[in-house]
Structure 1
Amino acid sequence: MFIVWMIFLFFTFREGHGYQYETKYFTVPVDHFSFALNATFKMRYLVNNTHWNQESGPILFYTGNEGDIKMFAENTGFMWELAEQLKASVVFAEHRYYGESLPFGNKSFSSEENLGYLTAHQALEDYVDLITNLRGAKDIPVISFGGSYGGMLTAWFRMKYPHIVQGAIAASAPILEFEGMNKCSAFYRIVSSDFRSASDECADSVRNSWGAIDQLAKSADGLAWLSKAWSTCKPLTKASDITDLKDWLVDVYTNLAMTDYPYPTSFLMPLPANPILEVCQYLRDPKLGAKELLGQIFKGVSVYFNYTGKAKCLDVESADGALGDQGWDFQACTEMVMPVCSDGVNDMFEAKPWDLNKYSADCTKKFAWVKPQPDLVAKRYGGREMAKLSSNIIFSNGLRDPWTSGGVVESLAPTVLSIIIPEGAHHLDLRASNVADPDSVKNARNLYKKHIRNWIRQYKEK
């Protein structure tokens, strides 16, 4: 039995970064797999039909990520450009539990019971219902797009529901970033190589900074100096504060690698072009004393958290801007268990082996009854083997993107292709065209257009 919930509630006209869209809401079940829970919620989606030929044009559908869907709509310009060329409708669907799509309103994160419906599987079912409704009785081809976690979803969408979506562009999609599928050390090695490509001194300065932080953290005076020198919003007074600071730094370096675009952007934070080069101009002498070295580190990371000069203090609570930390923490503690580790020798980080027991214990502290399932994704979506059996999927990977560590980096079947973008950071290929784009990105987009047109043609000829 299949129920489609079809209540359109209201829409408004919005504009962001030059892209205009209607904001709509579509009612879906909280639980697609049990009729015992008679509850629904309003899933938000954004749509633009300016160029759509409703008789022959496709739907270009973005599978929303772990954040407000507007952020992704305004940073995925390739779809908007393609819509004009293909006379297509553009739809950006918001992932449940992110942005405004909250199944239990302001109580969505209040208990593990309410959070239990936050899974990729449920989100994909939401997208199935929405597309089914948008199509109505018409035979309309749908091409799915997504970057990062959204790229994983778009690949799984095509694998699991080939009758719903006719092709998929999965950019920076780490569907192999799971237990037994890759080496846990690969992620931080790529981050480190990005910084080392700017200069050896830059990467070595970061590596030496961890010991410098520990040296100052040994005394109250050292902590007081660090709090003042780094303008922290809250004084650093105890060991857990130092742990939080180090975790924040790791996130910052990772995000800089992900968003190392060749032109200014504001995806996670407002950043200049080639932000790693901007950071590394301050990190030229890894042999400085602790205070001098950390003074330089602070100038470097200020490029990330305070490029606009508007930040009054350093808040180490989050480095991810508009991403939905609450929801992703839960997913990471249940189905999205992605092992990463560092050794402090082949990367610029402190040595931290992957420890599933510790990881599970930390998750239990956050969510009482939750236990990570490191093999769930492999069982549910099949990883490399499932992809081999699929068709009409293009995986793209930028060599400057740390998530390439879990990406599909070789073609798996005649129509399951892998595209490598040497100069590419995190899903750079899905962004709008820019004069600073390297040729490898331009070539990738041209290849996507060729295959998308072919997928649409095949669908119409069936």
Structure 2
Amino acid sequence: MKTTSLGLLALGVLLLGLATPGASSLLGRFRRGRNKNGFLPPPPIPEGKERLGEQWLEQPVDHFNPTDTRIWSQKYYTNFEFYKEGGPVFLMIGGEGPASQGWMYSGSWYDNAKQLNAALFQVEHRYYGYSHPTEDMSTENLVYLSSEQALADLATFTIAMQKEMGLQDNKWIVFGGSYAGSLAAWYRLKYPHLAHGAIATSAPVDAKVDFREYFDVVRNSLATASEDCNIAIKAANEEMETLLLDAAGWGVLSERFRLCSALDATIQDDVSLLFEALADNFAYVVQYNNELGSTNIELVCGIMQDESLGTPLDRYQEVNRILLNEFGETCLEHRYDVMIKAMQSSKWEENMDGGRAWVYQTCTEFGWYQSSDSEEQPFAHQFPLDFFIDMCQDVYGTNFTKELLYKGVDRTNAMYGGLHPDVTRVVFPNGSIDPWHSISILVDLGSEVHAILINGTAHCADMYSHSPEDPPELDRAREEIFNLIQKWLS
């Protein structure tokens, strides 16, 4: 299977949207399994557990136009195995990916539900997975895709479940990771009468167009292995830029990095996508580190520092080979026009990875473009901010201008408060390795808004159940979160 690289967005799984976990890398969405936005693969359904039936709730297409009576069906799951009358209700918010039954039987929220006799709900986000509000994903129909509409879906869902199941007097605690973590905090902000508290894991709450800090954190996280790792990465990128100077060098790059077709370096967008894709190899490893298998910071930095493997470019090539093989990819797609064509498809069946929907949200609400504009990162400067901004127009049309993007980002921060949300009973866990922590809440905002920075962990790590390999800091964070939930419920 060949892969198209899209590393920017993200967001991004982001968690998890968890289900979806979610905030993303634009480009990373189109590399199989490499979502820098934050979408994480859900845990498997444990042996012996029954598969849950999918359930559906009718929702308005547009919550903010009472004369629009169109409806659609939103997917959700329920699990009452631990629930006792009067117990709390835990609601996992879906992000930029499909809802998954694995989360209904696993994760720290599941472990907490067992101790607190909580009911469990998981709701899929509109336009992701199988929750389709419109007949297709045309640009005209994507107007109903926004965080505001998603929060209104959650409010409608909460009220419906309260009435249908007699849960009006129970305290509802919402959970989410990455983009869905932001939604958890914003749901508590906008609908405090429905959400009693929120766990906003790895939540990027500060919308910004140029998220150049992302690769700064990638650099700093790689340096936890050795600064020599970054020195070698920088040298490899300098070798690549030298090879861009003539057609013979283009051929060398095409062969070394297993490109799906020959590189033509006169097409700057193709060059940008190639450099971003190779930087994304390291961003993917850093963002998830030990969470997604054996490919971690120690491994890739060990390769980059191993002079027996050849030049820095030889070692850079080896990291790419390992990741292509890990995901079963026969080649790396670097052509910008191929990426744009894939993202322009409005068919639901061609958008199950969530890429078109997520990129739309970045172009209208969040930005979060992980550019190479910082002077501190080692990945050269071939994918600047304008590369991502231009993509909005190329995918969705000429109306998606830079001005529209900046206004959308300003509006998002005005609605939700950016790094200073006016909320109570919210906890923001983040991992110090995770690049997304740099636009989340890292210090307590008073006595009822807590920040937990977990040293040495990556994206959404606290959402998973305890593992014997977990560092003590991660277990302490889970315990602190549990104690806060208990306090909120008492």
Q: CA deviation at 1:47?
A: 2.1
Partners of 1:400 and 1:351 in 2: CA distance: 22
Partners of 2:141 and 2:88 in 1: CA distance: 36
After TM superposition, the structure 1 = structure 2 runs for residues 201-280 of structure 1, keeping only pairs within 5 Å, are 201-238=228-265, 239=267, 240-261=269-290, 265=292, 271-272=293-294, 275-280=296-301
Q: Do the aligned residues in 2 keep the contact of 1:31 with 1:122 (CA within 8 Å)?
A: yes
Q: CA deviation at 1:302?
A: 3.4
Partners of 1:15 and 1:348 in 2: CA distance: 34
Q: Do the aligned residues in 2 keep the contact of 1:172 with 1:404 (CA within 8 Å)?
A: yes
Bigger CA drift: 34-43 or 436-445? 34-43
- Helix, strand or coil at the partner of 1:384: coil
After TM superposition, the structure 1 = structure 2 runs for residues 5-404 of structure 1, keeping only pairs within 5 Å, are 16-18=44-46, 20-53=51-84, 55-70=85-100, 73=103, 77-105=107-135, 107=136, 109=137, 111-136=138-163, 137-138=166-167, 139-178=169-208, 184-238=211-265, 239=267, 240-261=269-290, 265=292, 271-272=293-294, 275-284=296-305, 292-307=311-326, 310-316=328-334, 323-338=353-368, 340-343=370-373, 345-351=375-381, 360-368=389-397, 369-370=399-400, 371-372=404-405, 373-385=408-420, 387=421, 389-404=422-437
Partners of 2:387 and 2:264 in 1: CA distance: 24
Partners of 1:194 and 1:160 in 2: CA distance: 35
Structure 1's unaligned 5+ residue stretches are 1-13, 266-270, 458-462
- Helix, strand or coil at the partner of 1:91: strand
Figure out how many residues of one structure are paired with residues of the other and give that number: 421
Identity between Structure 1 and Structure 2 (%): 28
Partners of 1:399 and 1:220 in 2: CA distance: 42
Output the amino acid matched with 1:135. Q
Partners of 2:197 and 2:333 in 1: CA distance: 42
Q: CA deviation at 1:455?
A: 1.6
Q: Do the aligned residues in 2 keep the contact of 1:202 with 1:286 (CA within 8 Å)?
A: no
Q: Do the aligned residues in 2 keep the contact of 1:151 with 1:170 (CA within 8 Å)?
A: yes
Q: CA deviation at 1:339?
A: 5.6
Establish whether residue 419 from structure 1 lines up as the match of residue 452 from structure 2.
yes
Q: CA deviation at 1:243?
A: 1.9
Q: CA deviation at 1:209?
A: 2.3
Partners of 1:340 and 1:245 in 2: CA distance: 14
Bigger CA drift: 210-219 or 402-411? 210-219
Partners of 2:213 and 2:106 in 1: CA distance: 27
Q: 1:71 to 1:209 in 2, by over 3 A?
A: farther
Deviation by residue 1:420-461 (Cα, 9 ceiling, x = unmatched): 10111011111121001111111111111111122222xxxx
TM-score w.r.t. length of structure 1: 0.83
Q: 1:330 to 1:162 in 2, by over 3 A?
A: same
Partners of 2:105 and 2:307 in 1: CA distance: 36
Q: Do the aligned residues in 1 keep the contact of 2:54 with 2:76 (CA within 8 Å)?
A: yes
Q: CA deviation at 1:402?
A: 0.6
Partners of 2:86 and 2:53 in 1: CA distance: 21
For 1:431, the equivalent position in structure 2 comes to: 464
Establish whether residue 409 from structure 1 lines up as the match of residue 442 from structure 2.
yes
Q: CA deviation at 1:71?
A: 8.4
Partners of 1:395 and 1:72 in 2: CA distance: 23
Partners of 2:158 and 2:379 in 1: CA distance: 44
- Helix, strand or coil at the partner of 2:289: coil
TM-score w.r.t. length of structure 2: 0.79
Partners of 2:271 and 2:316 in 1: CA distance: 15
Q: CA deviation at 1:74?
A: 7.5
Output the amino acid matched with 2:282. Y
Partners of 2:105 and 2:249 in 1: CA distance: 41
